[in-house]
Copies of this chain bind each other. A is one copy, B any other.
C-alpha cells in the first residue's frame, strides 16, 4: 500500500516522507476525517512515540494526496471538508442530519438513478463522491418523525 505512495511521489520527482505516509495512513484509518481530525490522530500517535505532524504540513499533505488521486475531498455537512482514501471511494455517503453519523453504501445503488439523470439532463453523476443528507435508521425510530433542522454534534468513527 505505502509502496504505492512512494512510486506515485517518485514519478513526479516528489519525496516520500514519514509525514506524508502518516497522513495517508490516518486518512485510511479514519475513513472520513477533516484536516483537523487527521492532525488530532497524529498528535495522539505522538504519545506512542510516532511524532506529531504540524497542522500546516497536514494541510499540505492532504492537498498533495488529493492531487495525486490517493485521497478525495468531500463536503459533508461540517464547514470543513472531509477526506477519505480513494481505494475506499466507490461508495456513497449517507449523512444523518440528526446524529451526524456517516454511513457508506455501495455506489452501485445509485447506478439506475445516475442513468436517469444522464438521460434526462445530460449530466453525468460522479457516484463516487456523493454525499446524501437525510436521517438514519436509528434516528428515524428514535424520534418517529417530522421536525427537520437539529444538529447534534457527534463523531463519525
Contact = CB atoms under 8 A, between A and B. Distances in A.
Interface string A34-72: 000000000000000000000000000000001101000
User: Which residue among A66, A97, A105, A113 has the maximum number of chain B CB atoms within 10 Å of its CB?
Assistant: A113
Contacts of A28: none
Interface in A109-142: 109-110, 112-113, 116-117, 120-126, 129-137, 140
- Per DSSP, chain A at the interface is mixed
B137 A121 contact: yes
A113 to B, nearest CB: 4
A94 interface: yes
A106 to B, nearest CB: 10
Nearest to A78: B75
B122 A137 contact: yes
A120 B103 CA distance: 13
B109 A112 contact: no
Choose among A112, A121, A125 the residue with the greatest number of B CB atoms under 10 Å from its CB: A121
A153 interface: no
Interface of A: 66-67, 69, 75-81, 94, 96-97, 103, 105, 109-110, 112-113, 116-117, 120-126, 129-137, 140, 148-149
